[in-house]
Amino acid sequence: MTPNRRTARLSNLGEFNLIQSIPRQLSTQGFLPTIGLGDDAAVFSPSSPQHVVLSTDLLIEEIHFTRKTATLYNIGYKAAAVNLSDMAAMGATPTGIFVSIALPSSLIQQDWQEFYRGLGAPCKTHKVRLLGGDTSSSPTSLFISITIIGQAHPEHILTRNGAKTGDLIYVSGTLGDSAAGFAYLKKYKTPPKPSTLSTPMSYLVHRHLNPTPRVALGQHLASQPYASAAMDLSDGLSRDLQHLCRQSRVGALIYSSHIPMSQQMQRYAKRIHTTPLHWSLHGGEDYELLFTIPQKWEYELEKFIKRRRIPISQIGTIQPKGFGIRIEHSENIQDYLQPQGYEHFSPRTER
């Protein structure tokens, strides 16, 4: 590829040429047969008796991301990761993605290739194949719509609606890192080079830009009788726990001292005079798993998790619906947990 082509404005290339220039690194593994890019639709068959699992996500400039804090590589990476996280939340094995993208004419071909390079990285890790999509110009913002497809055994699918009173509530990883990384990045007008960041900041920024979809944990939970309900944390624990409780028609009690938080996040919160608890409850974009298990499986689950070194924390218990959703800060100090995560169309948006 000549330098000229790399910096060519997208407006000087046709859609066909653009599609031809998608990096070929996206894994060619996945289920077959497929009729993919170049026809009206993609065709495939899941291995019997697997069910097809499908999810779709929008990523919109100045709503879900800004080019001030994320490169096109970062944007592509996260677009794939958040969709993989939806598969993790169902306990499914992701197999293919469809990428639709509307590009403002200011972007150059190199940006487009960076986007696909970023998108390809987590797809390659999880052997997910690019199956198709749509490409358009955009009058204004960069607009991305991803549809991910996977498969799961009919009896091994994680849903949000099975939590029962007495079940234990778990989350994977640490919460609030992504919000802290984003708070830090907001100071920049263009995305900083990772090498220029201090180690703790680099960690938080990485957690924000390159979340780890918990695909293996989701698959494990689905393959065992453990989990009664599961979802991924995208809007913040306070809001997502509300979603899970609403679908399961239950309440919940969580303990603030049990919420897992990284040292890096806690130190940075202290430095800028905010509270780590706020980020970890309401920050959003953690892409960790939130799940519940009946108490009788506690020992089995923790034994397995220890062997696989997947970080999980027990943060509370499911309660009857009338209990509401509460957080206990110390003995006898309880409050209702109000969702403050990101809500589209809400004038009270806060992140």
- Determine if 79 is a binding residue for a copy of itself (CB under 8 A): no
Q: Which of 20, 28, 29, 58 binds a copy of itself (CB under 8 A)?
A: 58
**Residues between 239 and 258 with contacts to a copy of itself, criterion CB under 8 A:** 247
Q: Which of 52, 197, 305, 310 binds a copy of itself (CB under 8 A)?
A: 52
Burial class of residue 28 in the structure, from the number of CB atoms within 10 Å of its CB (0-12 exposed, 13-18 middle, 19+ buried): exposed
- Distance from C-alpha of 76 to C-alpha of 215, rounded to nearest angstrom: 18
- Determine if 153 is a binding residue for a copy of itself (CB under 8 A): no
- Determine if 45 is a binding residue for a copy of itself (CB under 8 A): yes
Handedness of CA 251, 257, 262, 265 (dihedral sign): positive
- Distance from C-alpha of 134 to C-alpha of 58, rounded to nearest angstrom: 14
Tell the residue number behind the tokens 């689905």, with chain if given: 222
Q: Which of 4, 140, 195, 196 binds a copy of itself (CB under 8 A)?
A: 140
Kindly indicate which of the ranges 85-93, 180-188, 195-203, 301-309 contains the residues binding a copy of itself, using the contact rule CB under 8 A: 85-93
Cis peptide before 225 (omega within 30 of 0): no
Kindly indicate which of the ranges 11-19, 67-75, 117-125, 269-277 contains the residues binding a copy of itself, using the contact rule CB under 8 A: 11-19
Task: Calculate helix-pair angle for 298-308, 215-223, nearest 10 degrees.
Answer: 140
Contact 145, 64 (CB under 8 A): no
- Determine if 343 is a binding residue for a copy of itself (CB under 8 A): yes
Kindly indicate which of the ranges 43-51, 259-267, 309-317, 325-333 contains the residues binding a copy of itself, using the contact rule CB under 8 A: 43-51
Contact 283, 266 (CB under 8 A): no
Structure tokens at 315: 């943060």
Size of the site for a copy of itself (CB under 8 A): 75
- Determine if 61 is a binding residue for a copy of itself (CB under 8 A): yes
- Determine if 134 is a binding residue for a copy of itself (CB under 8 A): yes
In this structure, what are the phi and psi dihedrals at residue 35, rounded to the nearest 5 degrees? -115, 110
Q: How far is the CB of 72 from a copy of itself (least distance, A)?
A: 16
- Determine if 19 is a binding residue for a copy of itself (CB under 8 A): no
Q: Which of 55, 113, 248, 280 binds a copy of itself (CB under 8 A)?
A: 55
Type and span of the H or E element at 96: strand 93-104
**Residues between 215 and 244 with contacts to a copy of itself, criterion CB under 8 A:** 231-232
Residues 89-128: x/- map of binding to a copy of itself (CB under 8 A)?
xx-x-----x-xxxx-x-----------------------
In order of 84, 87, 146, 202, 260, the CA distances from 177 in angstroms are 19, 22, 24, 11, 10
- Distance from C-alpha of 2 to C-alpha of 18, rounded to nearest angstrom: 15
Kindly indicate which of the ranges 36-44, 180-188, 194-202, 253-261 contains the residues binding a copy of itself, using the contact rule CB under 8 A: 36-44
- Determine if 133 is a binding residue for a copy of itself (CB under 8 A): yes
Q: Which of 71, 141, 256, 313 binds a copy of itself (CB under 8 A)?
A: 141
